[in-house]
Amino acid sequence: MSTNRVPYRIHLSEKELPESWYNIRADLPNLSPYLNPKTKEPVVPDDMKAIFPMSLIEQEMSNERFIEIPEEVRELYRSFRPAPLCRAYNLEKLLDTPARIYYKYEGNNPSGSHKLNTAIPQAYYNYKAGIKRLATETGAGQWGTALSVATQLFGMDCTVYMVKVSAMQKPYRKLIMETYGANVFASPSVHTQSGRTILEQNPDYMGSLGLAISEAVEDAATHEDTNYSLGSVLNHVILHQTIIGLEAKKQMEKVDEYPDIVIACCGGGSNFGGLAFPFLQDKIRNGKKTEILAVEPAACPTLTKGRFAFDYGDVAHFTPIMEMYTLGHDFMPPGIHAGGLRYHGDSTLVSRAYHDGLIGARAVHQTDVFEAAIQFAKSELILPAPESAHAIRAA
């Protein structure tokens, strides 16, 4: 019989599912506004309504600390949430460490990741606005899968532009997305002017998230019944993901624990912000001394090697200009396996928190990441994604 004081898995009941998302904009006073890519003036809501519903634009610009989760969204969340918080007893034993290691398991849904947490509300708000189709980009494929699942729940169509190198590395991801009704194109594609332009310049171009974003935004902007949806970077996306950290705080309270350090992988910022921001709130408002660490690939080191500057979010200059840590919007990262972390910049929220010294960052190499992933798989019996394994390596 186990003598462990803390169970391997700490669960919440459906009744304990958070009723609101946490908006860290309320606690980051030094945020700079987005700039219109054409006028270079601060973005106003009308600038974004060609590709987003007003409800999501309001969330993007809101300074309310908590934003209520619609009951229709909570009902769909209940099919896979609350997600368990797990104590990594076997990994602790393998590492022979006195540290108590916990991890939040987000794999218990069709996308296999945290991405469904924002795909569902984004599809919901667009459906309410009368939108028939959503266009998006995807790197490794989890986000494209999540949006494919969410759109079919609301009877909507979905078009996914998948970074070419990831499409080549992960062909079965396309099959999963198509199972849920999506049309999937390798990016660069011939279906948009952005894609055709790049292909004319370099037919062998392996793609990037910045270009896939350009293709999806162009698609949405040129079709009246279509909006754009994205899986990271913007404020409303990270807002929806904070359900991860809000649940984790409740779960740690159940076993009378509070973390000394919170670690998450970071590409655009949705995974990191979703877990870390509810704990960062305690650090900002209540003086908690918790260390918060963002882990990124050494091949795409936006926080650790990038510049804090205003930059475009995509290759073709369709997106707003945002203040962020960036390697340059035309940066072409190597074709590493962690496709979800191959983005040239970071969320303005993550970037501001790092610039102000509220969080730390570390870059790790792919071979070291895979070594840690194998250790975790053998001890905890879960094979982690390459992206998540970055956090495991740092831990």
pLDDT at 113: 92
Phi and psi for 340 in degrees, rounded to 5?
A: -75, -10
Residue 309, token pair as written in the block: 């500057």
Residue type (1 letter), 175: L
Kindly report whether the peptide bond that precedes residue 33 is cis, defined as omega within 30 degrees of 0.
no
Complete domains list, the chain, with CATH: 45-60+115-231 (3.40.50.1100), 82-109+236-394 (3.40.50.1100)
pLDDT at 335: 66
Closest CA to 122 of 221, 21, 218, 211: 21
pLDDT at 3: 58
Query: What residue has token string 């649940």?
Result: 247
How much is the pTM? 0.94
118/106 Cα distance (integer angstroms)? 13
Query: What residue has token string 């960062």?
Result: 280
207/352 Cα distance (integer angstroms)? 28
pLDDT at 1: 44
Residue 276, token pair as written in the block: 């870390």
354/294 Cα distance (integer angstroms)? 9
What tens-digit pLDDT sequence spans the chain (395 residues)? 455 688 999 999 999 999 999 999 999 989 999 999 999 999 999 999 989 999 999 999 999 999 999 999 999 999 999 999 999 999 999 999 999 999 999 999 998 899 999 999 999 999 999 999 999 999 888 999 999 999 999 999 999 999 999 899 889 999 999 999 999 999 999 999 999 999 999 999 998 888 998 999 999 999 999 999 999 899 999 999 999 999 999 999 999 999 999 999 999 999 999 999 999 999 999 999 999 999 999 999 999 999 999 999 887 788 899 999 999 988 777 767 666 787 889 999 999 999 999 999 999 999 999 999 999 999 999 999 999 999 999 98
* Cross-strand pairs, 9: 86
Residue type (1 letter), 383: L
Helix H, strand E, coil C: the string for the chain is: CCCCCCCCEECCCHHHCCCEEECHHHHCCCCCCCECCCCCCECCHHHHCCCCCHHHHHHHHCCCCEEECCHHHHHHHCCCCCCCEEECHHHHHHHCCCCCCEEECCCCCCCCCCCHHHHHHHHHHHHHCCCCEEEEEECCCHHHHHHHHHHHHCCCEEEEEEEHHHHHHCHHHHHHHHHCCCEEEEECCCCCHHHHHHHHHCCCCCCCHHHHHHHHHHHHHCCCCEEECCCCCCHHHHHHHCHHHHHHHHHHHHCCCCCCEEEEECCCCHHHHHHHHHHHHHHHHHCCCCEEEEEEECCCCHHHHCEEEEEECCCCCCCCEEEEEECCCCCCCCCCCCHHHCCCECCHHHHHHHHCCCCEEEEECHHHHHHHHHHHHHHHCCCCCHHHHHHHHHC
Residue type (1 letter), 96: D
Residue type (1 letter), 325: Y
Phi and psi for 68 in degrees, rounded to 5?
A: -65, 140
